[in-house]
Protein backbone atom coordinates (compact mmCIF):
# COMPACT_ATOMS: atom_id res chain seq x y z
CA UNK A 1 0.00 0.00 0.00
CA UNK A 2 1.36 3.42 -0.98
CA UNK A 3 0.99 6.06 1.73
CA UNK A 4 2.68 8.82 -0.23
CA UNK A 5 0.61 11.92 -0.91
CA UNK A 6 -0.01 12.89 -4.51
CA UNK A 7 1.43 16.08 -5.94
CA UNK A 8 -2.06 17.64 -5.89
CA UNK A 9 -2.59 16.70 -2.23
CA UNK A 10 0.77 18.15 -1.25
CA UNK A 11 0.04 21.35 -3.17
CA UNK A 12 -3.30 21.90 -1.38
CA UNK A 13 -1.92 21.01 2.06
CA UNK A 14 1.14 23.25 1.62
CA UNK A 15 -1.04 26.13 0.46
CA UNK A 16 -3.22 25.69 3.56
CA UNK A 17 -0.15 25.48 5.80
CA UNK A 18 1.25 28.73 4.38
CA UNK A 19 -2.14 30.42 4.76
CA UNK A 20 -2.41 29.17 8.34
CA UNK A 21 1.07 30.42 9.26
CA UNK A 22 0.79 33.76 7.45
CA UNK A 23 -2.84 34.77 8.05
CA UNK A 24 -4.47 32.55 10.68
CA UNK A 25 -1.84 32.13 13.40
CA UNK A 26 -1.17 35.86 13.92
CA UNK A 27 -4.87 36.38 14.80
CA UNK A 28 -5.40 33.23 16.87
CA UNK A 29 -4.68 34.70 20.32
CA UNK A 30 -6.97 37.68 19.72
CA UNK A 31 -9.74 35.48 18.28
CA UNK A 32 -9.66 33.21 21.33
CA UNK A 33 -9.18 35.97 23.92
CA UNK A 34 -12.12 37.98 22.59
CA UNK A 35 -14.31 34.97 21.68
CA UNK A 36 -14.44 36.41 18.19
CA UNK A 37 -15.64 34.68 15.04
CA UNK A 38 -12.93 35.33 12.40
CA UNK A 39 -15.18 36.38 9.52
CA UNK A 40 -12.28 37.67 7.43
CA UNK A 41 -10.49 34.33 7.76
CA UNK A 42 -13.58 32.37 6.72
CA UNK A 43 -14.03 34.65 3.71
CA UNK A 44 -10.40 34.12 2.75
CA UNK A 45 -10.75 30.33 3.10
CA UNK A 46 -13.58 30.53 0.58
CA UNK A 47 -11.45 32.55 -1.82
CA UNK A 48 -8.67 29.95 -1.54
CA UNK A 49 -11.04 27.05 -2.23
CA UNK A 50 -10.65 25.54 1.24
CA UNK A 51 -14.39 25.45 1.99
CA UNK A 52 -15.07 22.72 -0.56
CA UNK A 53 -11.95 20.55 -0.75
CA UNK A 54 -13.62 17.10 -1.00
CA UNK A 55 -16.56 18.32 -3.09
CA UNK A 56 -16.49 17.54 -6.82
CA UNK A 57 -15.95 20.28 -9.37
CA UNK A 58 -19.50 19.59 -10.59
CA UNK A 59 -20.67 21.40 -7.44
CA UNK A 60 -17.83 23.96 -7.54
CA UNK A 61 -15.64 22.25 -4.99
CA UNK A 62 -11.92 21.60 -5.32
CA UNK A 63 -12.49 18.01 -6.45
CA UNK A 64 -9.94 16.63 -4.03
CA UNK A 65 -10.39 13.93 -1.40
CA UNK A 66 -11.41 13.68 2.25
CA UNK A 67 -7.87 12.89 3.43
CA UNK A 68 -6.61 16.15 1.96
CA UNK A 69 -9.47 18.02 3.63
CA UNK A 70 -8.64 16.44 7.02
CA UNK A 71 -4.98 17.36 6.64
CA UNK A 72 -5.97 20.94 5.84
CA UNK A 73 -8.12 21.02 9.00
CA UNK A 74 -5.06 19.79 10.90
CA UNK A 75 -2.90 22.62 9.51
CA UNK A 76 -5.53 25.25 10.30
CA UNK A 77 -6.12 23.82 13.78
CA UNK A 78 -2.40 23.92 14.51
CA UNK A 79 -2.54 27.68 13.86
CA UNK A 80 -5.94 28.36 15.48
CA UNK A 81 -8.26 25.73 16.95
CA UNK A 82 -11.28 27.98 16.37
CA UNK A 83 -10.59 28.15 12.64
CA UNK A 84 -10.16 24.38 12.41
CA UNK A 85 -13.49 23.82 14.15
CA UNK A 86 -15.26 26.30 11.87
CA UNK A 87 -14.08 24.46 8.75
CA UNK A 88 -14.66 20.98 10.18
CA UNK A 89 -18.24 21.77 11.19
CA UNK A 90 -18.91 23.52 7.89
CA UNK A 91 -17.74 20.49 5.91
CA UNK A 92 -18.08 17.37 8.07
CA UNK A 93 -21.52 17.88 9.59
CA UNK A 94 -23.19 20.22 7.10
CA UNK A 95 -21.82 20.27 3.55
CA UNK A 96 -20.52 16.71 3.15
CA UNK A 97 -23.67 14.91 4.37
CA UNK A 98 -25.76 16.88 1.87
CA UNK A 99 -23.18 16.13 -0.83
CA UNK A 100 -23.25 12.41 -0.07
CA UNK A 101 -26.97 11.93 0.62
CA UNK A 102 -28.84 14.85 -0.91
CA UNK A 103 -30.75 15.04 -4.15
CA UNK A 104 -29.21 16.80 -7.13
CA UNK A 105 -31.51 19.76 -6.43
CA UNK A 106 -30.28 19.95 -2.82
CA UNK A 107 -26.67 19.70 -3.96
CA UNK A 108 -27.10 22.56 -6.42
CA UNK A 109 -29.04 24.69 -3.93
CA UNK A 110 -26.89 24.07 -0.84
CA UNK A 111 -23.61 22.31 -1.63
CA UNK A 112 -22.53 24.60 -4.46
CA UNK A 113 -22.62 27.86 -2.44
CA UNK A 114 -21.21 26.06 0.62
CA UNK A 115 -18.30 24.62 -1.40
CA UNK A 116 -17.56 28.02 -2.94
CA UNK A 117 -17.48 29.64 0.50
CA UNK A 118 -20.44 31.88 -0.36
CA UNK A 119 -22.41 30.29 2.48
CA UNK A 120 -21.35 28.78 5.80
CA UNK A 121 -22.65 25.59 7.37
CA UNK A 122 -23.60 25.13 11.04
CA UNK A 123 -24.27 22.30 13.48
CA UNK A 124 -27.08 22.27 16.05
CA UNK A 125 -27.09 19.31 18.45
CA UNK A 126 -27.14 20.67 21.99
CA UNK A 127 -30.54 21.16 23.63
CA UNK A 128 -31.34 22.87 26.95
CA UNK A 129 -32.67 19.69 28.60
CA UNK A 130 -30.42 17.13 26.95
CA UNK A 131 -27.03 18.70 26.46
CA UNK A 132 -25.30 16.75 23.71
CA UNK A 133 -26.78 13.37 24.68
CA UNK A 134 -28.19 12.25 21.32
CA UNK A 135 -30.55 9.74 22.98
CA UNK A 136 -32.14 12.46 25.13
CA UNK A 137 -32.81 14.97 22.34
CA UNK A 138 -36.41 16.18 22.09
CA UNK A 139 -36.43 18.03 18.75
CA UNK A 140 -38.62 16.36 16.13
CA UNK A 141 -38.95 16.55 12.36
CA UNK A 142 -42.39 15.41 11.18
CA UNK A 143 -43.36 15.24 7.52
CA UNK A 144 -46.58 17.11 6.69
CA UNK A 145 -48.29 15.09 3.93
CA UNK A 146 -50.60 17.97 2.99
CA UNK A 147 -47.99 20.75 2.75
CA UNK A 148 -45.25 18.36 1.51
CA UNK A 149 -42.55 19.59 3.89
CA UNK A 150 -41.06 18.81 7.27
CA UNK A 151 -42.14 20.63 10.42
CA UNK A 152 -39.35 21.06 12.97
CA UNK A 153 -40.25 21.44 16.64
CA UNK A 154 -37.69 21.92 19.39
CA UNK A 155 -35.02 24.17 20.81
CA UNK A 156 -31.29 24.15 20.19
CA UNK A 157 -28.49 26.06 21.90
CA UNK A 158 -24.72 26.39 21.44
CA UNK A 159 -25.00 26.14 17.66
CA UNK A 160 -21.51 25.90 16.16
CA UNK A 161 -21.11 28.62 13.48
CA UNK A 162 -24.76 29.49 14.22
CA UNK A 163 -24.61 33.28 14.37
CA UNK A 164 -22.77 33.45 11.04
CA UNK A 165 -24.10 30.42 9.16
CA UNK A 166 -26.54 30.22 6.28
CA UNK A 167 -27.25 26.47 6.31
DSSP 106-162: HIIIIIHHHHTTSS---B---BTTTBT-GGG---EEEEETTTTEEEEE----S-BTT
The pLDDT tens digits of the residues spanning 90-143 come to 999 999 999 999 999 999 999 999 999 999 999 999 999 898 898 999 999 999
The pLDDT tens digits of the residues spanning 46-65 come to 999 999 999 999 999 999 99
Average pLDDT taken over every residue of the chain? 97
Predicted TM-score of the model (pTM): 0.91
CB atoms within 10 A of CB 107: 21
Q: Which one, of 109, 74, 99, lies nearest residue 88 by Cα?
A: 74
Map out the domains of the chain with their CATH numbers: 7-122 (1.10.540.10)
The pLDDT tens digits of the residues spanning 69-89 come to 999 999 999 999 999 999 999
Amino acid sequence: MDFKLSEEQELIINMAKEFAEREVAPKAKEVDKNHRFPEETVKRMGELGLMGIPISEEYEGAGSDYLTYIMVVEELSRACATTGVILSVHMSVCTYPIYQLGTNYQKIKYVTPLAKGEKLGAFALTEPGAGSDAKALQTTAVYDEVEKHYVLNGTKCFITNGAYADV
